[in-house]
Structure 1
Amino acid sequence: MELRTKQRIALSTYFFLSGICFATWASRIPTIKSFFNFNEAELGTILLAMPISSLIGLPISGWLISKFDSRVPLIVAFVFFSISLTLIGLATTPFLLVVAVCFFSFCMRIINISINTQSITLQQKFEKRVVGAFHGLWSTGGLIGVGFSTLMVKMNISIQIHLLIISILVLLIALIAYKYTLRNDKSSSGNKLILGKPDPFILYLGILIFLGAICEGGMFDWSGVYFKEVVNEEVFTYGYLVFMLTMAFSRFFSDRIVNQIGLQKTYILSSVLISVGMLIAILFPYFWSALLGFCLVGFGTAAIFPVTISLAGTSKKYSPGMAVSIITTYAIFGMLLGPPLIGYLAHAFNLQKAFLVFVILGFMFIPVSYSFFKYHSKNN
């Protein structure tokens, strides 16, 4: 087997495992909400701890990228990532829960930067686009994670046992796959974060991924609650499951879609699918119509992350690792800011009305992507 194939399998494994862990956490949020008897605003406050801890990781992640090959922070962060997932399940007070969630979020940031830096480097060894497939495997891992969570919920398995099982399994597999991850991918230049006027190229991409991340993060953390409290479905993970299924399926074809219709039209298609899908779920909050709406949102969000991260890797100002680190800040901030925002709006109005935020943000892809490609064409 070719070395690049082994490296692709190893990196695919890390995307897959990362997706499992995040989906496991997100799918058990309704359980945590019930255990602590949080209202929507209180749950939103707990979720707000995640972007704060993630932002703290910006200078640290930049330093790690400049000092080490990405495989080193990847494995170290993954060890602590699995430990923090277990700690979330063991938390018995809101304070301990916040500490565990912050730890989880911080490690997730390092992992995301490391695997996306590796994906950009590995892409150079292949003639066809492969980045979308990596993100497809992240979503597939998420699908497996939420599927297993659904099984645990139906079998009344405690959250403590559930999260411990996942933590042990993913850690063992991560340690095995580490041997074949990319080496010597540290860039010799462009590793320094330059403060001052934002680079328009990175800024536009950051806004695009920020919008996509709010939509994804909101679906990850609130789709289960929506199905439980608005759709009144006892097995509340169904909505999350179909969202992850369609997003995972679409990501395996996202590279082909981009090649067929182009980058700018891909953002426009994503915009329409997210907004229309969410409108259907809001206006018709019944089982099958909500499933259809969440399905369209899954299709719409699929290409945003892989396309935007691939574009970031072409930055003339920063190395791929630093460019990914910067826009990942936008992404994580959006993914983790979206859920508490929805929580506060749901507490002030109701969850159904709060979901209108996704409709508005979905349509924002059109003017922002237009501005990015207009800028890009003028400077190339």
Structure 2
Amino acid sequence: MKTKQINRIALSVYFFLSGLCFATWASRIPTLKASFNLNDAQLGSILLVMPIAALIGTISSGWLISRFNNRDLLLFSFLFFAFALLGISLVNSALLLIFILALFSICMRILNIAMNAQSITLQAFYHKNIIGSFHGIWSLGGVIGVLFSTIMVEYNVIIQNHFLIIALVTILATIIAYKYSLTKDKSTTGNKLIIGKPDPFIFYLGLLIFFAAICEGGMFDWSGIYFKEVVKEDVFTYGYLLFMIFMATSRFFLDRVLDKIGMPKLYIISGLLISTGTLTTILFPQFWTALIGFCLVGIGVSAIFPMTYILAGKSKKYSAGMAISIIGTYAIVGMFIGPPLIGYLSHTFGLKNAFFILVFCGVMFIPISQLFFKTQKANL
């Protein structure tokens, strides 16, 4: 087997583990909400910790990727990521939960930037789009995570045992993947942040990531609660599971779809699917119609992050890692605003009405993406 294929498999393992761990945490948010006796506003406040901590991870990652190979960053960030996941299930006070969520979020941000920077480097070896498949594998990890969580919830397995299993799998797989990861991929140019007038290329991509973060963050953090409290489904992971399955499946076809219709049209289609799916869930909050709505949203959000990262890798001003780190700041702002805002709106107007935020975000992909392509033809 060629070296680049071995490197691709190793990186795929990291993407899978990232999706697995994140879905494990997100799918058990209703469990944590109940165990700490939190209302929606209180949960929204605790969720604020994650984007604030992720901002620290984003800032530090720009410095780290300029000094270390991504494989080393992936090894250490994933190990701490696994320990933090286990810690979430063990803490017994809100203060400790806030601390461990901060660590979890910092590690997640560093490993995500390192993974995506390495995926852009690997894509150059293949001379074709392969980034969509990596994000598909992330989503597949998410699907497995939700499936496993559903089994744990169905059979009343305590969250401590659940998270311990996932943490051990993550630690073992991380150590094995490290041995076969791409080496010496540290960028030597474009690693310095330039302060001044915003670069339109990065600015528009940042806005796209901003609204994508609100959509994905809203679905990750609130879909389980929506199914439990609005749809009135005891096995609250069903909606999240279908959302992840359709997002994963769509991402595996993304590279082919991009070759067929191109990014400008796909941003429009994605925005329409997100808005339509969310409206379906809001207007018809019954089991099957809500499932259909969540499936449409899953298809819609599947392409946004991969497409935007591909475009970021074409920056003439920054290295791929630095460009992803910069637009990652916009994602943090989206995560900072989105899930907590849904919590506050839900506390005041009800969770069903709070989901109109996602409808608005879906619509916004259309004008922003078209403005980007119109003004950046010379860069692409």
Superposition TM-score, scaled by structure 1 size: 0.98
Report if aligned partners of 2:267, 2:365 keep a CA contact under 8 Å in 1: yes
Report if aligned partners of 2:270, 2:299 keep a CA contact under 8 Å in 1: yes
Q: Give structure 1 regions of 4+ aligned residues with deviation exceeding 3 angstroms.
A: none
Residue 379 (structure 1) shift: 5.0
Letter in 2 for 1:159: I
Match of 2:184 in 1: 184
Q: What is the distance in 2 between the residues matched to 1:257 and 1:265?
A: 10
Report if aligned partners of 1:54, 1:333 keep a CA contact under 8 Å in 2: no
Match of 1:325 in 2: 325
Residue 331 (structure 1) shift: 2.1
Residue 259 (structure 1) shift: 1.0
Q: What is the distance in 1 between the residues matched to 2:337 and 2:74?
A: 24
Q: What is the distance in 2 between the residues matched to 1:336 and 1:133?
A: 28
Instruction: Give 3-state SS (helix, strand or coil) of 2:179's partner.
Output: helix
Letter in 1 for 2:55: L
Deviations 1:307-355 (A, max 9, x none): 1001000001001110011112222432353211110110111000000
Unpaired stretches in structure 1, ≥5 consecutive residues: none
Q: What is the distance in 1 between the residues matched to 2:173 and 2:96?
A: 28
Match of 2:221 in 1: 221
Letter in 2 for 1:120: I
Deviations 1:102-139 (A, max 9, x none): 00000001000110000000000113211000000000
Unpaired stretches in structure 2, ≥5 consecutive residues: none
Match of 1:196 in 2: 196
Match of 2:279 in 1: 279
Q: What is the distance in 2 between the residues matched to 1:45 and 1:9?
A: 38
Q: What is the distance in 2 between the residues matched to 1:10 and 1:337?
A: 34
Match of 2:265 in 1: 265
Larger CA deviation: 370-379 vs 309-318: 370-379
Residue 213 (structure 1) shift: 1.3
Instruction: Give 3-state SS (helix, strand or coil) of 2:45's partner.
Output: helix
Residue 59 (structure 1) shift: 2.8
Match of 1:118 in 2: 118
Deviations 1:187-237 (A, max 9, x none): 111101112221110110011011111101110110000000000001000
Q: What is the distance in 2 between the residues matched to 1:378 and 1:352?
A: 43
Q: What is the distance in 1 between the residues matched to 2:209 and 2:252?
A: 19
Residue 56 (structure 1) shift: 1.6
Match of 1:63 in 2: 63
1:305 counterpart = 2:305: yes
Match of 2:244 in 1: 244
> % of aligned pairs identical?
62
Q: What is the distance in 2 between the residues matched to 1:205 and 1:310?
A: 10
Report if aligned partners of 1:221, 1:339 keep a CA contact under 8 Å in 2: yes
Q: What is the distance in 2 between the residues matched to 1:137 and 1:297?
A: 18
Report if aligned partners of 2:52, 2:332 keep a CA contact under 8 Å in 1: no
Letter in 2 for 1:279: L
Superposition TM-score, scaled by structure 2 size: 0.98
Aligned positions, number: 380
1:138 counterpart = 2:138: yes
Q: What is the distance in 2 between the residues matched to 1:199 and 1:316?
A: 11
Q: What is the distance in 2 between the residues matched to 1:49 and 1:32?
A: 15
Q: What is the distance in 1 between the residues matched to 2:334 and 2:309?
A: 15
Match of 2:42 in 1: 42
Instruction: Give 3-state SS (helix, strand or coil) of 2:307's partner.
Output: helix
Deviations 1:32-73 (A, max 9, x none): 000011000000000000111111223311110110111111
Q: What is the distance in 1 between the residues matched to 2:6 and 2:84?
A: 29
1:3 counterpart = 2:3: yes
Q: What is the distance in 2 between the residues matched to 1:292 and 1:58?
A: 35
Letter in 1 for 2:260: Q
- Give the alignment of 1:90-109 within 5 angstroms: 90-109=90-109
Residue 184 (structure 1) shift: 1.1
Relative to structure 1, is the Cα distance of residues 8 and 262 closer, same or farther in structure 2, using a 3 angstrom cutoff? same
Letter in 1 for 2:148: F
1:19 counterpart = 2:23: no
Report if aligned partners of 2:59, 2:325 keep a CA contact under 8 Å in 1: no
1:341 counterpart = 2:341: yes
Instruction: Give 3-state SS (helix, strand or coil) of 2:48's partner.
Output: helix
Report if aligned partners of 2:58, 2:110 keep a CA contact under 8 Å in 1: no
Match of 2:147 in 1: 147
Report if aligned partners of 1:206, 1:327 keep a CA contact under 8 Å in 2: yes
Relative to structure 1, is the Cα distance of residues 233 and 215 closer, same or farther in structure 2, using a 3 angstrom cutoff? same
Q: What is the distance in 2 between the residues matched to 1:348 and 1:196?
A: 40
Letter in 2 for 1:151: I
Residue 378 (structure 1) shift: 4.9
Deviations 1:81-118 (A, max 9, x none): 00000110011000000001000000001000110000
Report if aligned partners of 2:135, 2:306 keep a CA contact under 8 Å in 1: yes
1:314 counterpart = 2:333: no
1:375 counterpart = 2:380: no
Q: What is the distance in 1 between the residues matched to 2:139 and 2:379?
A: 34
